[in-house]
DNA sequence: AAATATACTTAGAATGCTTAGG
DNA sequence: CCTAAGCATTCTAAGTATATTT
């Protein structure tokens, strides 16, 4: 289950933590900051407005290794006859061939886009021959990559070790930068390799060729007086600039959506940690304004201005249901998904009465990543009445909030509280929910195992609020699952019984253990909850969270 | 004021690694 | 031991937010 990890930690620490007394990270002086109020330690060395660094030095990005042509024995067939492809066409063919067992290759849009882009890479003669994807046979190519993957798996211990060391060497060479005198880990130092675009849901561009990026596509950002990264031999950077108002080290434009991709720092870096911390401070500040804001939007439900009413109802949804803001998107460029402000009439249904409640709104729409949001919620009467009004004389495809944009909503929020935007409500409500759940579910005398169970349950509640979920398995996987359903059910029963036993044992042990019995209300060692990486990433939170920290 | 560009966060899928159970 | 389930990490698509341009 995926849950916004920052808020998880932040709120969890408040209630769970045996919090280590150690400095947050290098560059942060040793003494622990005071428990409430501003995060003086993390604010130290603050630059003036908009400036993100004084010094930035790095080695540039790591490029995908060049294409290795297929061995002669691996052939591509057209209409049953082997056809020798040019290197350029072959490379793109391998992108498709290796995906043959993926559901994508059964989708018409994917196939059409791939074939269209593939033909562009072909030589004239190839293009004259290869005219239909249905007549293409990539099975040998596919087999080749399957075998290759299998061969990797059965490598000897030493060979695997060698591969690991090579990866480590790469990490050492390209994975770090110097920012203001400190070494920092980079998040994504590798340029994305070429391949076929894997858009989610019904993406109109799925299958398109994501071009290979060369140094000539890449803009480097570093300090003027630093050692400028060397482009790979025989190449040049598109541009080298020195802009210290941004945090990225390198950038390029991706060929499918024409959007800019960035090389940036790892979340454990000071820079990222600071902004994450600030984000929580903003959400925490909202606590002091939220009552006022709520009575304000309630009053606005009766405003004479339609614009204001729409804004007030939308804000109510964002607050109550943790919906995303819902920016507009260009159609034809991406899958048809919506958020709060971009909801259409077809996405909501009004029920005067349902499930024994009055004024029920039924939401059914695709949100971020094409994850379905389905919910039936009783709402207050004025909200219901307003929705009826907003839907009057509209087509299903019309905007529900036709007088509202994310920009105007955020402008309004900014006036209510400095730094307030729509997404802050998600952070705020998720954090508050986790904290309340932890309070409700845990007791001081619980064993550590029981507390962890409560913690996981609390997170599940937050996940439901935020509609975090994985896509349903593909039809292929589904049929596999069906075959195994019976076995699975039995296994689960057994596993559940085992888990129960283990839990009982753990509890027994914990009860008997004097040390853990002395635990205070929420104490659980932080290692039990967060992996090393997570603890590094949230060093700032660990450093600032005191015994009595509350969100 | 609408469209566009830019920079940054969020989040699911894919992949890698560890560990529990046979 | 080996295997596979489950967790962690990596990858990159898809969001949000806002500044700039038209």
3-state secondary structure A351-406: EEEECCEEEEEEEEEECHHHCEEEEEEECCHHHHHHHHHHHCCCCCCCECCCCCCH
**pLDDT of amino acid A287:** 93
Question: Is a pLDDT exceeding 50 seen at residue A465?
Answer: yes
- The span from the CA of A74 to the CA of A146, in Å, is 12
Question: Is a pLDDT exceeding 90 seen at residue A134?
Answer: yes
Question: Is a pLDDT exceeding 60 seen at residue A34?
Answer: no
Say how far A157 CA is from B17 C1', in Å.
14
State the CB neighbour count (10 A cutoff) for residue A386: 22
Residues in A 245-274 whose C-beta is less than 7 A from nucleic strand C are 254, 256-257, 259
Say how far A145 CA is from C11 C1', in Å.
20
Say how far A3 CA is from C16 C1', in Å.
18
Residues 6 or more apart whose CB falls under 8 angstroms from that of A340 comprise: A314, A317, A318, A323, A324, A325, A326, A401, A422
Q: Evaluate if the CB of A537 falls below 7 Å from strand C.
A: no
State the CB neighbour count (10 A cutoff) for residue A525: 14
Residues 6 or more apart whose CB falls under 8 angstroms from that of A397 comprise: A344, A345, A346
What secondary structure letter does DSSP report for A24?
A: S
Q: Evaluate if the CB of A190 falls below 7 Å from strand C.
A: yes
Question: Is a pLDDT exceeding 80 seen at residue A350?
Answer: yes
| Tokens at A75, concatenated | 């052939």
Residue with the larger pLDDT of the pair A65 and A20: A65
Mean pLDDT for A442-460 is 74
Nucleotides of C under 7 A from a protein CB: 6-19
pLDDT band at A471 (very low <50, low <70, confident <90, very high): low
Tokens 């994450």 found at: A276
**pLDDT of amino acid A434:** 78
pLDDT band at A500 (very low <50, low <70, confident <90, very high): very low
* Residue A51 CA: distances (Å) to CA of A161, A244, A539: 42, 6, 23
Tokens 């005067």 found at: A352
**pLDDT of amino acid A159:** 81
Nucleotides of B under 7 A from a protein CB: 2, 4, 6-14, 17, 21-22
Mean pLDDT for A499-509 is 41
pLDDT band at A163 (very low <50, low <70, confident <90, very high): confident
User: A489: exposed, middle or buried (C-beta count within 10 Å: 0-12, 13-18, 19+)?
Assistant: exposed
**pLDDT of amino acid A543:** 62
Cβ atoms of A215 and A237 within 8 Å: the answer is: yes
Mean pLDDT for A303-316 is 97
User: A147: exposed, middle or buried (C-beta count within 10 Å: 0-12, 13-18, 19+)?
Assistant: exposed
Mean pLDDT for A96-120 is 96
Say how far A250 CA is from C16 C1', in Å.
22
pLDDT band at A391 (very low <50, low <70, confident <90, very high): very high
Among all protein residues, pick the one whose CA is nearest to the C1' atom of C9.
Answer: A533
State the CB neighbour count (10 A cutoff) for residue A229: 20
Q: Is the dihedral of CA A240, A245, A247, A253 positive or negative?
A: negative
Mean pLDDT for A174-186 is 95
- The span from the CA of A7 to the CA of A279, in Å, is 10
Question: Is a pLDDT exceeding 80 seen at residue A267?
Answer: yes
Cβ atoms of A240 and A222 within 8 Å: the answer is: yes
Say how far A149 CA is from B7 C1', in Å.
37
Nucleotide at minimal C1' distance from the A265 CA: B8
Mean pLDDT for A142-159 is 86
Q: Evaluate if the CB of A453 falls below 7 Å from strand C.
A: no
Write out the DSSP string of A177-200.
EEETTEEEEBS--BPPPPEE---S
**pLDDT of amino acid A482:** 43
Pick from A100-109, A345-354, A529-538: least confident = A529-538
Could you tell me how many residues make up chain A?
551
Question: Is a pLDDT exceeding 80 seen at residue A3?
Answer: no
- The span from the CA of A281 to the CA of A278, in Å, is 5
Identify which of A184, A209, A330 has the alpha carbon closest to the alpha carbon of residue A266: A184
Question: Is a pLDDT exceeding 70 seen at residue A525?
Answer: no
Q: Evaluate if the CB of A202 falls below 7 Å from strand C.
A: no
What secondary structure letter does DSSP report for A253?
A: E
Say how far A387 CA is from B17 C1', in Å.
51
Question: Is a pLDDT exceeding 60 seen at residue A495?
Answer: no
Taking chain A, what is the end-to-end CA distance rounded to the nearest angstrom? 22
* Residue A37 CA: distances (Å) to CA of A41, A274, A285: 11, 15, 10
- The span from the CA of A468 to the CA of A518, in Å, is 36
- The span from the CA of A541 to the CA of A547, in Å, is 12
pLDDT band at A509 (very low <50, low <70, confident <90, very high): very low
Percent of chain A with pLDDT over 90: 62
Cβ atoms of A387 and A380 within 8 Å: the answer is: no
**What is the largest distance, in Å, between two alpha-carbon atoms of chain A?**
80
Mean pLDDT for A83-100 is 97
Say how far A58 CA is from B4 C1', in Å.
31
State the CB neighbour count (10 A cutoff) for residue A262: 15
Q: Evaluate if the CB of A326 falls below 7 Å from strand C.
A: yes
| Residue A242, helix vs strand vs coil | coil
- The span from the CA of A491 to the CA of A489, in Å, is 5
Question: Is a pLDDT exceeding 50 seen at residue A534?
Answer: yes
**pLDDT of amino acid A28:** 30
pLDDT band at A458 (very low <50, low <70, confident <90, very high): confident
Q: Which residues are within 7 Å of strand B by their Cβ atom?
A: A 2, 4, 6, 52, 102, 164, 198, 200, 243, 245-248, 251, 259-260, 262, 264, 272, 275-276, 279, 330, 368-369, 371, 405, 423, 426-427, 466-471, 494, 498, 502
Say how far A161 CA is from B16 C1', in Å.
14
pLDDT band at A544 (very low <50, low <70, confident <90, very high): low
**Averaged pLDDT score across all residues of chain A:** 82
What interhelical angle do A139-153 and A87-97 show, nearest 10?
70
Say how far A86 CA is from C1 C1', in Å.
48
Question: Is a pLDDT exceeding 70 seen at residue A489?
Answer: no
Say how far A158 CA is from C1 C1', in Å.
19
Which domains does chain A show, CATH number per domain?
Answer: 5-52+427-544 (no CATH), 56-65+170-266 (2.170.11.10), 76-153 (1.10.10.41), 290-416 (3.90.15.10)
Question: Is a pLDDT exceeding 70 seen at residue A270?
Answer: yes
**pLDDT of amino acid A527:** 65
What pLDDT digit, counting tens, does each position of A319-344 carry?
999 999 999 999 889 999 999 999 99
Among all protein residues, pick the one whose CA is nearest to the C1' atom of C8.
Answer: A531
Pick from A73-77, A164-168, A351-355: least confident = A164-168
């Amino acid at each position: 289950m995926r849950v916004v990890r920052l808020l998880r930690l932040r709120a969890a620490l408040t209630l769970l933590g045996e919090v280590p007394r150690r400095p947050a990270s290098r560059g942060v002086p040793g003494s622990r900051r005071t428990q409430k109020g501003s995060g003086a330690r993390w604010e130290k060395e603050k630059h003036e407005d908009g400036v993100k660094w004084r010094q930035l030095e790095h080695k540039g990005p790591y490029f995908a290794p060049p294409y290795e042509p297929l061995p002669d024995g691996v052939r591509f067939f057209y209409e049953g006859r082997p056809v020798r492809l040019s290197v350029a066409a072959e490379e793109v063919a391998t992108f498709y061939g290796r995906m043959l067992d993926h559901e994508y290759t059964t989708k018409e849009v994917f196939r059409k886009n791939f074939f269209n882009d593939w033909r562009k890479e072909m030589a004239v003669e190839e293009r004259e021959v290869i005219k239909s994807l249905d007549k293409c046979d990539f099975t040998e190519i596919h087999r080749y990559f399957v075998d290759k993957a299998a061969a990797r798996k059965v490598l000897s211990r030493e060979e695997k070790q060698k591969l690991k060391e090579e990866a480590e060497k790469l990490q050492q060479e390209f994975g770090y930068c110097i920012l203001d005198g400190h070494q920092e880990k980079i998040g994504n130092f590798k340029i994305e390799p070429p391949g076929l675009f894997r858009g989610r849901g019904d993406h109109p561009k799925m299958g398109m060729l994501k071009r290979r990026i060369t140094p000539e596509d890449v803009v480097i950002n570093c300090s003027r007086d630093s050692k400028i990264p060397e482009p790979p031999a025989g190449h040049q950077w598109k541009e080298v600039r020195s802009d210290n108002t941004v945090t990225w080290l390198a950038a390029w434009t991706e060929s499918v959506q024409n959007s800019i991709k960035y090389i940036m720092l790892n979340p454990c870096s000071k820079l990222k940690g600071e902004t994450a911390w600030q984000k929580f401070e903003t959400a925490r500040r909202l606590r002091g304004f939220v009552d006022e804001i709520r009575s304000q939007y309630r009053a606005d439900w009766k405003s004479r201005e339609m614009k204001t009413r729409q804004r007030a109802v939308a804000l109510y949804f964002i607050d109550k249901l943790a919906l995303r803001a819902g920016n507009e998107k260009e159609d034809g460029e991406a899958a048809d998904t919506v958020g709060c402000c971009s909801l259409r009439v077809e996405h909501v249904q009004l029920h005067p009465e349902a499930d024994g409640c009055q004024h029920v709104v039924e939401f059914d729409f695709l949100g971020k990543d094409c994850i379905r949001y389905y919910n039936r919620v009783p709402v207050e009467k004025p909200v219901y009445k307003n929705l009826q009004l907003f839907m009057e004389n509209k087509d299903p495809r019309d905007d529900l909030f036709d007088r509202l944009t994310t920009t105007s909503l955020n402008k309004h929020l900014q006036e209510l509280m400095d730094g307030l935007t729509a997404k802050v409500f998600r952070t705020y409500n998720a954090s508050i929910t986790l904290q309340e759940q932890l309070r409700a579910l845990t007791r001081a005398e619980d064993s550590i195992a029981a507390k962890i169970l409560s913690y996981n349950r609390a997170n599940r509640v937050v996940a439901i609020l935020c509609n975090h979920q994985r896509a349903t398995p593909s039809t292929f996987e589904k049929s596999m699952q069906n075959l195994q359903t019976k076995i699975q059910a039995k296994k689960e029963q057994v596993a559940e019984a085992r888990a129960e036993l283990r839990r009982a044992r753990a509890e027994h042990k914990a009860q008997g253990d004097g040390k853990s019995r002395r635990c205070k209300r929420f104490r659980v060692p932080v290692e039990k909850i967060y992996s090393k990486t997570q603890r590094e990433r949230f060093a700032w939170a660990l450093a600032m969270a005191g015994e009595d920290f509350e969100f």
